Structure 1
Amino acid sequence: MKRRNFFRTVLASGVGMVTAPIIKAAPPVNQSPAKPETNIATARAIPRTTNSMPGKYPGQVVKVNHSNSIVEGKPSESAAYDMLKEGMLNLTDETDLKKAWLHFVNEDDIIGLKVNPIGGKLLSTSHAVTQSIVKQLEEAGISRSKIVIWDRREEQLDDAGFTADNYPGVSFMATECYDENKSYINAEGRFYSEDWIDKDHFLYADVEGEYDAYTMPYMVNGGKNSYFSKICTQKVTKIINVPVLKNAGTSITACMKNLAFGSISNTGRLHKALWHETSAYACAFPPLRDKVVLNVLDGILGCFDGGPAANPQFICQYKTMLVGSDPVAVDRVAYDVVINKRIQEGVQTEEKIAGRKFMEIAQELQLGVCDRDKIKLKEISI
């Protein structure tokens, strides 16, 4: 989806109108603009659970490298399976793979695999990694009928090959969905997606943008609330996060970004004003904080520039996988991988400290460990 015309003042008739942006006085010269007010205090006040981030293994990350994980330019499923196995066993200190998985899920759970299909066939969560997760869940006694592969956008899932033909017995869901004619609007003129946002769970931010007819189906609603998907709030009981190792400018888009911007509506307004805050804040609310039990970062293929889109000239073979319950710690290790690659490729000359901001915010929210000296990293080569 092209992020265009976010601040247009007119929407096509039949789609709906959105209030025009509020124009505020510019800040004094040399003074950073004040951040918009949010409802993060509401999230912080909600009691945590035994599953809350950073999960069972705070501050622990297993990094598995496999020199033969790419065959004929594509991630190898057999290699991905072995990488995932090593990651799970080493994270949990188990010798039995089934026992390792049962640290996080059980046969009564409805397990959502949050993939990242934005890069289409070029650079999305690989089928090698996704199929390996499904296979190991089955081996642990989880029925395929209890597995849901999901993301915000149905069309991106389809384009990336996340379909019933490729994953028989597994369910697929998307917040932004369409009918058999690929229309996002039903006979009454409402977005189908409106039935998939939960208005009892939302991130409020005192900033709003206006969306045109092209963009509106990808936002679902305007205004100052970003509603969580009912996939998170009602459908699944546990979430396994399966992002891709990508850059986002001089930062990264990995665990927290995949969760945050993939789970809420009305995100266009947040990219410029609150990108770092949203990446952390959304993860602090119960639909994500209390359900994301495991992060499997797919770094077999990734990119070092042009992310989160897929630009062929920047796609690279990291040949790695990061596994951990702590999304902040996984992102911190992933950040080093991407920034080192960017420096190696001459895209930037040194780390830009501001790139870590979302992780620092997340650590302050007790979602995980950002301090690199406090992260226990176990690195394995196959």
Structure 2
Amino acid sequence: ASGKHVSTDNFDQSVYYFAKGVLGKGVAGYKSDEFYLNQHVFAGEYSYYGKLVTRKLTKIVNLAAYKNTGNGISMATKNLGYGALCNTARLHGPLFFKVCTEVLAAPVIRDRLVLNITDGLRGQYDDGPGLNAQFVYPNHSLLFATDPFALDMICHRQLVAKRKAAGIKVNEHPRYTDYLRYAEKLGLGITDPQKIQYQLISA
């Protein structure tokens, strides 16, 4: 054995997301640092983009499930923000939503991302992001967008309405959508609901 993780070569160490002081050490939910490293390949302050993204793909179609994560959502931006990198569990606590914006700002994502699809044929309105069939419901929709931030804002508002209708106490603090407005400030997308252009197509 070389002492190197078997997946190390799958990641491009010249393209990374850096989080100073946020290490893959003592991460909640992992029984040991070795167990964390076995799943996340690296454990330092860097999360490297996969070579699939940086060297192989010329276009990205992002397909996400329709589900909540606490009072937020785990859909288009999280799907790609956390799916493009290694060493991500360390980021959930201190930088959870910010990652969903900043990772997508990198040219290797931004310049290749052509379509986002959120599969809302069935949705999950509580106890996400892990699957809990108790809260899965028929939502009968597929959502398509070139702008993942606009898409997530629409989905967030829909899911808040669903959670309220189901009698769940919803915390509507702006922090659950600040990352989307942050994206608009960076010029990455449109998140003001009054400015988002969309079309409803019924079967």
8 A contact 1:201–1:228 mirrored in 2: yes
Provide, for residues 8-54 of structure 1, a one-character-per-residue CA deviation record: whole Å limited to 9, x for no partner. Answer: xxxxxxxxxxxxxxxxxxxxxxxxxxxxxxxxxxxxxxxxxxxxxxx
CA distance in 1, matches of 2:7, 2:127: 29
From 25, 28, 40, the counterpart of 1:210: 25
Match 1:333 to one of 145, 154, 168 = 154
- The equivalences for 1:227-238 within 5 A come to 227-238=48-59
Counterparts in 2 of 1:213 and 1:331: CA distance versus 1, 3 Å: same
Distance 1:218 1:342 in 2: 33
Q: Confirm or deny that 1:324 pairs with 2:138.
A: no
AA at the equivalent of 2:200: E
Structure 2: stretches of 5+ with no match in the other structure: 27-32
Letter of the 1:198 counterpart: D
Larger helix percent: 2
- Which 4+ runs in 1 deviate beyond 6 A? none
What amino acid maps onto 1:209 in structure 2?
G
Q: 1:44: which partner in 2?
A: none
Match of 1:72 in 2: none
Q: 2:114 aligns with which of 267, 271, 293?
A: 293
Higher relative contact order (CA 8 A, sep 6+): 1
The residue aligned with 1:248 is 69
Given the alignment of the two structures, is residue 368 of structure 1 paired with residue 183 of structure 2, yes or no?
A: no
Aligned match of 1:200: 14
Amino acid in structure 1 at the alignment position of 2:118: L
Amino acid in the other structure paired with 2:50 = S
Q: Which residue type is aligned with residue 96 of structure 2?
A: W
RMSD over aligned Cα, in angstroms? Answer: 1.3
Provide the residue aligned with 2:169 in structure 1.
Answer: 348
Cα offset, 1:215, TM superposition: 2.0
- What do residues 71-105 of structure 1 show as CA deviations (whole Å, max 9, x unaligned)? xxxxxxxxxxxxxxxxxxxxxxxxxxxxxxxxxxx
Give the distance between the partners of 1:338 and 1:378, measured in 2 at CA.
18
1:24-35 correspondence to structure 2 within 5 Å:
none
SS in 1 for 2:200: strand
Instruction: Answer yes or no: is the 8 Å Cα contact 2:71–2:170 preserved in 1.
Output: no
Give SS of 1:317's match.
Answer: strand
Q: Residue 332 of structure 1 contacts residue 370 of structure 1 at CA under 8 Å; is this kept in 2?
A: yes
Out of 239-248 and 211-220, give the one that drifted further: 211-220
Q: Matched residue of 1:369: which SS? A: coil
Query: For the structure 1 residues 210 and 374, does the alpha-carbon distance in structure 2 shift closer, same or farther, using more than 3 Å as the test?
Result: same
Counterpart position of 1:312: 133
Residues 107-122 of structure 1 correspond to what in structure 2 (within 5 A)?
Answer: none
* Aligned partner letter, 2:91: L
Q: Residues 153-164 of structure 1: matches in 2 within 5 Å?
A: none
**CA-CA distance at 1:350 after TM superposition:** 5.8
TM-score (norm 1): 0.50
Instruction: Find the aligned partners of 1:349 and 1:302 in 2 and give their Cα distance.
Output: 17
Give the conservation status (yes or no) of the 8 Å contact 2:50–2:85.
yes
The residue number in structure 2 matching 1:189 is 3
Equivalent residue letter for 1:194: T
CA contact (8 A) 2:160 2:170 kept: no
Cα drift, residue 306 of structure 1? 1.3
Q: Retained in 2: the 8 A contact 1:241–1:259?
A: yes
Deviation at 1:214, TM superposition (A): 2.1
TM-score relative to the length of structure 2: 0.92
- Whole-angstrom distance in 1 between the partners of 2:67 and 2:179: 15
Contact between 2:68 and 2:159, CA under 8 Å: does it hold in 1? yes
- 1:121 is matched with none
Percent of pairs identical after alignment? 35
Query: Is this contact kept in 2: 1:343–1:350, CA < 8 A?
Result: no
Answer yes or no: is the 8 Å Cα contact 1:245–1:298 preserved in 2: yes
Following superposition of structure 1 onto structure 2, how do residues 84-123 of structure 1 map, counting pairs within 5 Å?
Answer: none
> 1:303-358 CA deviation, whole Å, 9 max, x = no partner?
01111100111111111111110111111111111111111111224633221111
Q: Distance in 2 between matches of 1:329 and 1:351?
A: 18
| Distance (whole Å) between structure 2 residues aligned to residue 224 and residue 254 of structure 1 | 25
Q: Count residues with an aligned counterpart.
A: 196
* Structure possessing the higher radius of gyration over alpha carbons: 1
Determine helix, strand or coil for the equivalent of 2:73: strand
- 2:91 maps to 270
